[in-house]
C-alpha cells in the first residue's frame, strides 16, 4: 500500500507562512518549498495498515496524518 504520512516538527523560530523558504526538508533532506515550516509529508510504500504505519512513524515523529493513496 502507498501512504502519505504527514508529520509535525519544531520548525524555525520566526517562520512566516506567507514568506516560505525553499531548501532541504528537515524530514527527508529532499527539496521542499516550505523548509522552515512545521508540517512535512512523505510517501511510504509498505504492506501495513494505516494504523501500523502511524505506529511505526510515531516512534520517530509527531504524526498528524496518514492517508492511503488511491490510484485510478
Phi, psi of 57 (to 5 degrees): -80, -20
Contact 3, 43 (CB under 8 A): yes
> Cβ distance 27 to 57 under 8 Å?
no
Of the two residues 48 and 70, the one the predictor is more confident about is 48
Q: How many domains does the chain have?
A: 1
> Residue 63 has what pLDDT?
98
Predicted local distance difference test score (pLDDT) of residue 70: 87
- Asked if residue 42 lies in contact with residue 3, where contact means CB atoms within 8 angstroms, the answer is no
Q: Which domain holds residue 59?
A: 2-68
pLDDT of residue 50: 97
Q: Are 6 and 41 in contact, with CB atoms under 8 Å apart? A: yes
pLDDT tens sequence across 2-53 = 999 999 999 888 889 899 999 999 999 999 999 999 999 999 999 999 999 9
pLDDT at 72 over 90: no
Amino acid at each position: 500500500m502507498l501512504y502519505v504520512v504527514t508529520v509535525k516538527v519544531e520548525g524555525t523560530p520566526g517562520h512566516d507562512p506567507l514568506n516560505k523558504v525553499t531548501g532541504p526538508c528537515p524530514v527527508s533532506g529532499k527539496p521542499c518549498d516550505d523548509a522552515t515550516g512545521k508540517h512535512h509529508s512523505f510517501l511510504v510504500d509498505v504492506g501495513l495498515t494505516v494504523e501500523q504505519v502511524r505506529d511505526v512513524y510515531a516512534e520517530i515523529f509527531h504524526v498528524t496524518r496518514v492517508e492511503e493513496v488511491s490510484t485510478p
